[in-house]
Amino acid sequence: MSADFIQLLVGGILLGGIYGLAAFGLSITFGVLNILNLAHGEFLMLGSLLSYGIFVGLGINPFIAAILVMPVFMLLGLGFYLLLLKPIMDKPPHQLLVASILVTLGASLFIEDVTAFFWERPVTGISYSLPPMELAGVVISSTRLLILFFIFALACGMQLYLKKTYVGKSIRAIVQGREGAKVVGIPISRVSALAFSIGMALAASAGAFYVTLFTVTPVMGIPLTIKYLCVVVLGGLGSIVGSVFGGLILGVAETLTAYYCGAEWSPTIAFILLILILIIKPEGLFGAKK
Amino acid sequence: MRPFFECREISKTFGGIEALTHVDLKVEPNTITGVIGPNGAGKTTLFNIISGALLPTAGEVIFKGKKISGMGPARVCRLGIARTYQLVRPFNSLSAIENVLIGLGFGRARPMAKRDRLAEALRILRMVGLENKMNHVAEGLTLVEKKHLEIARALATAPELLLLDEVVSGLNPTEVTRIIETIQQIRKSGITIIMIEHILKVVMALCERVVVLNYGVQIAAGTPEEVVRNEAVIEAYIGRFEDTEERPDA
Amino acid sequence: MNRRRKKLFLLVVLLLCAILAALPWLGFSYGVVWIFLLAVYFTLALSYDIVGGYMGYMNLGHSTFFGLGAYTTAILLNQGFNLFAALFAALLLAAVFAAVVSYPLFRLRGAYFALATFGLISLIEVLTVNLRDLTGGSGGISTPPGNHMVPSYYLVLAVAGGTMVLSHFVARSKFGLALFSIREDEEVAKAFGVPTTLYKGLALVISSAPASLVGGIYVWNMTYISPNSVFGLEIALSPIIMAMLGGTGIMIGPLVGAVFITLVQEFLWTKVPYFHLAMYGTVLVLIGLFMPGGIVRTRWVKPVVQWLGLGEAVDYFKNGDVERIP
């Protein structure tokens, strides 16, 4: 395997990790609230911008920034939830669907437009790097490795949280069965708010990593959310672990496509993968067949 | 002599849980069979398998000599099996008559002019006593009316076998009497009925034969009188009689 | 009373039609353009609503049909085909496309479907930009010049009228009833024999027809389109906002919404050159939070609609027992 290919692979895995992290948050949100948040990509974008601002303004390295943005976005997420989602949560399923699409799509457009107004130029990657490492004769950027490690740690941390803590278990309970969770006395509304905030925080921290490697523009939100959709469907609706794997696959596919076919084709690969998995295995790689 | 309807050794596992284990059920035409058992015994799962919504992990469902387990719900419906749902699921924002029209138009559709279809739908609504509410939106109907609407919708598919899933739950004594009458009328018209029920009084009044499930296993079968005296059945129900399910006579 | 009411209503409608027909000769050239665009958006909104409102699957990618229709027509016009041949081809292409994508996309439900269809637009846009030799790439494509404003005005009104007829008859038909049942409870509909997979695809194909036609008429009139003008956010979202604002799932809804939004745009767009998307977004949020049923289902407007005898189609954002006018 050529060194170039390995670099591509690493890059792809990295991108995939970022996608997976954000999609992880989206999965949790969807599992708990039964609402697909079309504004999810916007939060990654905002997280990127905030991260960048912290880096440029305060000189803090991106890894710390990734951690710092999380509480900020948990609060923002909470606000978003209380203002826009809580009022519609109790509607019957079809109305909930329509209302949630309207509200989250509307929020997306609003965030995008306002951000574009105040932040016109695209934000290029943060130039922060550690000395590169050599592994088996291949030069790998240690920044990238570190980011990968961080994402992995974050994802593991989330999994542990979900498995071990009371709150985490409540979240899983609601995902598995809303009525049952209610009967057992879990405060659905509060846990929903928390789950949503966590989802946002994850998206934002994914954004912090994103901006160290790629360019961020205000209009990337919606295409990004569509990519998350592809990731979630790839991995399997309802499987949180699946979305991480879906993310990895997409990341690698996108990076390879960009290199071999040209950058203008890479946005389409997500959609092509989506169509393919819908045709071949609609329940996703890790999803359960009915 | 091929059986009218039979479940052979039906088993269903969900993940690690065995919802049904080797359930057998034989139903003669033009009878009312009851399926009873405590909550969680697997009764609705059995119905889901019969109606084609679920695949059994093992076993077969035979209807009029044909193996129907594995066919989807639409095909099963076209073969002559219709059902109602434990938690009522009418087409909420459609009117009562439109709900019935769906059953008429798609269940075992015979080509009919629109006017004839409307007349037929009205006739079915009349059978369940809903003809005055024909243009009312389903969501606004009372619970007993919704249950009758579900029955009407199922009847519209001209079924030979009707699956009723806990039609009586949530109704007050007058409503219970009303729905019992409806069910008896249905049986008189030649339709075979399998009904899941909690309330023993209703089962005793309507069913010729009863099958008892507990934790997915069939623990008794026979006439209602036999079953009620069965020790295993009594044991399964001890402690569950505390619920308000045991209702006084109307 | 009822008959007199209907006669009055019919009279008003006829009067409106007469005015519309006569408009080009009355010297309001700006009005003609304005109505032309209104009719385009209205047709898109109404055809969207067949799948989005009647069937309950929000096809956010509806404008893909518009764009495909426009580009197909443009390419064929440039090859020398006459308008009707080009429009016919556009119709066919969009229909086939709808049939093909319905197979994977309808495996998704709800918000997933909505998002995926939205992604479809960007896929087709990228393809359009990259197939430079065929489509002219990001620079757009021009068709043979000429002033076609008046004939395209009449054409688009005809298509709009035809779409209203189509929508009306679908809502009254057995097929339409089946679509409603899919929206209400797809699983139960299937259990009662409704051929859901077939009907979903059919509905999408039917909805693609008006969209692709107005796309073709649009490019014939404008003589120039670019990927952004036919696949952009504005053309994608405006019809849907109109349908949702006016009232989804009911034929009169998109009409009300289209008129409303075009009027507002008229006054607002020129005064406030920024934040158009943000305003759209705010409208969407407000509709979602306070009136997902749209204008025609609000407390004040609904009685008027029912009084007019247009309370047909679905009354599904109401609560309580309403006697539904068949």
Window C:158-197, CB contacts with A under 8 Å: 183-184
Q: What is the pLDDT of residues A195-212, one digit of tens each?
A: 888 888 888 888 888 887
What is the reported pLDDT for B244?
A: 47
- Interface contact A267-C122, CB threshold 8 A: yes
Question: Which residue in chain C is spatially nearest to A230 when comparing CA positions?
Answer: C116
* DSSP code for A287: P
The tokens describing C204, both together, are 């999408």
Q: Dihedrals φ, ψ of B56, to 5°?
A: -75, 145
Instruction: Name the residue of chain B whose CA is nearest to C321's CA.
Output: B140
B80 touches C at CB < 8 Å: no
What mean pLDDT, rounded, does chain B reach? 85
| CA–CA gap between residue C305 and residue C269 (Å, rounded) | 29
Q: Which residue has the tokens 């009027």?
A: C263
Once rounded to an integer, what is the mean pLDDT over residues A175-193? 77
For residue A116, the model assigns a pLDDT of 83
Find chain C residues with C-beta within 8 A of B83's C-beta: 191
End-to-end CA distance of chain C: 19
CA of B94 vs chain C CAs: smallest distance (Å): 7
Which of the other chains make 3 or more beta carbon contacts under 8 angstroms with chain C?
A, B
Phi/psi at A8 (5° precision):
-60, -45
CA A163, CA C152: separation in Å to the nearest integer? Answer: 63
The whole-number pLDDT of residue C325 equals: 36
Q: Chain C window 25-84: which residues touch A at a Cβ cutoff of 8 Å?
A: 56, 58, 60
Those residues with Cβ within 8 angstroms of residue A219's Cβ, 6 or more apart along the chain or in another chain? A112, A116
Q: A56-85: per-residue pLDDT in tens?
A: 777 777 677 778 888 889 899 999 998 888
Distance CA C146, CA C132 (A): 25
pLDDT tens-place values along chain C, 326 residues long: 466 777 777 788 888 888 888 888 777 778 888 899 999 999 999 999 999 999 999 999 999 999 999 999 999 999 989 999 999 999 999 999 999 999 999 988 888 899 889 889 988 998 898 888 888 888 888 888 888 888 899 999 999 999 999 998 998 889 999 999 999 999 999 999 899 999 999 999 999 999 999 999 999 999 899 998 999 888 999 999 999 999 888 888 899 999 998 888 877 777 777 788 888 889 889 988 988 888 888 878 877 777 666 655 444 433 333 444 33
Distance from C-alpha of C129 to C-alpha of A104, rounded to nearest angstrom? 29
Give the per-residue pLDDT at A140. Answer: 61
Strand pairing category for B209-214 and B217-222 = antiparallel
Phi, psi for residue B70 in degrees, rounded to 5: 110, -20
Interface list for C 258-317 with A (CB within 8 A):
274-278, 280-289, 292, 316-317
CB atoms within 10 A of CB A289: 8
Beta bridge partners of B32: B193
Highest mean pLDDT among A31-35, A131-135, C186-190: C186-190
Radius of gyration of chain C (CA): 20
Of the CA atoms within 13 Å of residue B28, those in its CB half-sphere come to 6
Contact A38 C280 (CB under 8 A): no
CB A56: neighbour CB atoms within 10 A?
A: 11
pTM: 0.88
Question: Between residues A267 and A99, which one has the greater pLDDT?
Answer: A99
What is d(CA B22, CA A201) in angstroms, rounded to the nearest whole number? 49
Q: What CA–CA distance (Å, rounded) separates C119 from C61?
A: 7
Which residues are B195's β-sheet partners?
B34, B164
Closest-CA residue of chain B to C315:
B93
Both structure tokens of A163:
């498995």
Q: Neighbours of A (≥3 Cβ pairs closer than 8 A)?
A: C
Distances in Å between the alpha carbon of C174 and those of B98, C55, C179, C200?
A: 10, 13, 9, 14
Name the DSSP letter for residue A165. Answer: S
Q: Under an 8 A CB cutoff, do C112 and A233 touch?
A: yes
pLDDT band at B118 (very low <50, low <70, confident <90, very high): confident
Yes or no, beta carbons of B157 and C185 under 8 Å apart? no
Complex ipTM > 0.95: no
Q: How far is A87 from chain C (nearest CA, A)?
A: 7
Torsion-angle region of residue A271: left (phi > 0), alpha (psi -120 to 50) or beta? alpha
Beta bridge pairs of residue C46: none
The answer to whether B118 contacts chain C (CB < 8 Å) is no
From chain C, the residues in CB contact with A237 under 8 A are 112
Of C104, C127, C287, the CB nearest to A278: C104
Q: Specify the pairing of strand B58-63 against strand B66-67.
A: antiparallel
pLDDT confidence bin for A1, thresholds 50/70/90: low
C297 CB neighbours in chain B (<8 A) are none
Q: What are phi and psi of A116, to 5 degrees?
A: -60, -30
C116 with A229: CB under 8 angstroms? Answer: yes
Place of tokens 């665009």: C37
Q: Of C325, C321, C305, give the one whose Cα is nearest residue C253.
A: C305
* pLDDT for residue B250: 37
Interface test with B, best of C188, C196, C318 (most B CBs within 10 A): C188
Triad B60, B64, B70: Cα angle to 5°: 35
First to last CA, chain B: 41
Contacts with B141 from chain C: Cβ below 8 Å: 321
Contact criterion met (CB below 8 Å) for A202 and A22? yes
Strand order in the sheet with B81-83: B66-67, B58-63, B5-14, B17-27, B217-222, B209-214, B32-36, B192-196, B161-165, B81-83
Beta strands in A119-214 (DSSP E): 133-135, 138-140
The three state secondary structure string of chain B is CCCCEEEEEEEEEECCEEEEEEEEEEECCCCEEEEECCCCCCHHHHHHHHCCCCCCCEEEEEECCEECECECHHHHHHHCEEECCCCCCCCCCCEHHHHHHHHHHHHCCCCCCHHHHHHHHHHHHHHCCCHHHCCEEHHHCCHHHHHHHHHHHHHCCCCCEEEEECCCCCCCHHHHHHHHHHHHHHHHCCCEEEEECCCHHHHHHHCCEEEEEECCEEEEEECHHHHHHCHHHHHHHCCCCCCCCCCCCC
| Interface contact flag, C277 A282, Cβ < 8 Å | no
Q: How far apart are CA C26 and CA A233, in angstroms?
A: 55
- What was the pLDDT predicted at C21? 84
> B54, B91, B100: best mutation site toward chain C, by most C Cβ within 10 Å?
B91
Q: B195: pLDDT confidence band, cut at 50, 70 and 90?
A: very high
Q: Is B133 exposed, middle or buried (0-12, 13-18, 19+ CB in 10 A)?
A: buried
Lowest-pLDDT choice from A99-113, A209-223, C183-197: A209-223
CB C261 within 8 A of CB C242: yes
Which chain C positions have a beta carbon within 8 Å of A278's beta carbon? Answer: 104-105, 107-108
Give, in order, the Cα–Cα distances in Å from B228 to each of B183, B218, B221, B245. Answer: 22, 14, 10, 15
Which residue of A102, A222, A271 is in closest CB contact with C288?
Answer: A102
- Among B146-150, B239-243, C10-14, the range of highest mean pLDDT: B146-150
- B207-229 pLDDT, tens digit per residue, is 989 998 888 888 888 888 888 88
Measure the CA–CA gap between A107 and A110, rounded to whole angstroms: 5
Asked if residue B161 has pLDDT above 80, the reply is: yes
What Å distances lie between residue A26 and A17, A164, A210, B103, CA to CA? 14, 20, 17, 39
More confident residue, A207 or A92: A207
**Can you name the residues that pair with A133 across neighbouring β-strands?**
A140
Asked whether B130 and B152 are in contact (CB, 8 A), the reply is yes
- Tell me whether residues C189 and B102 touch, CB distance under 8 A: yes
Neighbouring C-beta atoms of residue A188, cutoff 10 Å: 18
pLDDT at position A126: 56
CB B52 within 8 A of CB B68: yes
Could you tell me whether strands B5-14 and B161-165 are parallel, antiparallel, or unpaired per DSSP bridges?
unpaired
d(CA B194, CA B206): 11
